[in-house]
Structure 1
Amino acid sequence: MKQTILNELRSTIGDETIDFYVFAERKVPRLASIFFMFFGIFWTIMVLGIGGFDFMEKFGAGGDSFYNTMNAFMIMVSGIFVLVGIGITIWGVVSFFQNGGHFVGTPTRLIHYKNGATKIYPWVDFTGNVDMNPSKRYITFFLHSNRKVEKGANMYMICDVINLFSVDDILEIERISRQRITENKDSNKFAF
């Protein structure tokens, strides 16, 4: 965790001590990116195989205008589904190469810096729930939010999520984060 801190982050951090500084190599897990690439390709091939080629063959073959109009409509619908498949594939390829940004933990907040944009999360906003897997090198933090959903007689809060994928020293980050969340916890802030 001994890395050189970016100059853009120095002004944001100020005089605070740095508990940890890591670079998340990935925005999403590699397996998720690969899944979306293959799913998008599969989706596109299936739509073209089931509907696209059949309608292209019959379109313009003659016949009444109702038949041609319905074929044109089905070609447009197939085209929309093909565009969805291509979009899913492109998202998978782009997410495969995106990094997660820089994360800095201080005694009062977690700072996330990526592509010139800085997001600051005070430790008081964290729920204390942390999901991690040191062998897969990821850690997920859950934050309180103001979004609530009612199911039956119960009220549930929908948490915001911060993911750090492909990060080194997961156990050390988890230990420091739990300590800071406990120190800054306000139990009355999110009672409902």
Structure 2
Amino acid sequence: MIENIAIPDILKEAIGAEKIVFLVKAKKDQPIRNCLHVIYFGLFWILVISLIFSTFDWNFFSGDYTISAKEIPDLLYFSLFLSPGIICFLLGVFGLFKSGGYFIGTENRLICHRWGKIQTYPWKEFTNEIEVFGNKNSGNIIFKLKTGVYITRNHRKVLSNTKINIGDILYAFEIENYCRNIIGKTFSDLTE
């Protein structure tokens, strides 16, 4: 489960003398399906707003059109309502091309090196909820941490767990199996 890649020096310092169980370089920051959901939402927003504004009796949706001073506020409103869809679409496209980072699993923790920043997560901070999908050659893993933010749903506060996405990696199913075992072991040690 260790890819044949060079480990950056900053990661070697973070690992120290710990034994590396797995080492992968994620090709993507997010699973592609997450990016596609954002792109689809952006396109849906653009379509709905365009349809709503096209029902008004404006000529700038068809043919040549000159803008008068009294129609500038209408165009500004249209632009204002359209901008969230454009932003979502662009963020989704940007997410498709954003590269992932290095993920190193040791016996005690998960070490992430992304965007020039190192983050470490002890295995005791993870929940047993691990999502893995893909195929043998290209898999994705989504871990959930016990920490997060509380959001209100149906007039109740619910914890929305922090997620760690590892997109487009080799050995995803083997890594998930190892992580599930060590998190389960850590969880049972904490409850005893």
**Which band: TM-score by shorter chain?**
0.7 to 0.9
1:160 aligns with 162
Change (3 A) 1:43 1:162: same
Give 1:54-69 correspondences, 5 Å limit.
54=58, 60=68, 68=70
RMSD: 3.2
Alpha-carbon deviation of 1:129? 1.8
Q: In the alignment, does 2:117 pair up with 1:109?
A: no
Whether the 8 Å CA contact 1:128–1:182 is kept in 2: the answer is: yes
Aligned residues: 180
TM superposition shift of 1:54: 1.7
Question: Where does residue 83 of structure 1 map in the other structure?
Answer: 83
The worse-fitting range, judged by mean Cα deviation, of 72-81 and 32-41 is: 32-41
CA distance in 2, matches of 1:36, 1:149: 20
Q: Residues of 2 paired with 1:158 and 1:85: CA distance?
A: 24
Query: What is the TM-score when the length of structure 2 is the normalising length?
Result: 0.76
Could you say what secondary structure the match of 1:51 adopts? helix
Q: What one-letter code is carried by the residue in structure 2 that aligns with 1:140?
A: I
Contact 1:55 1:75 in 2 (8 A): no
The structure with more strand, counted as a fraction of residues: 2
Which structure has the larger Rg?
A: 1
SS of the aligned residue for 1:16 comes to coil
Q: Choose 107-116 or 80-89, whichever is displaced more.
A: 80-89
Query: In the alignment, what sits opposite 1:92?
Result: 92
Structure 1 contact 55–74 (Cα < 8 Å) conserved = no
Gaps of 5+ in 1: 62-67
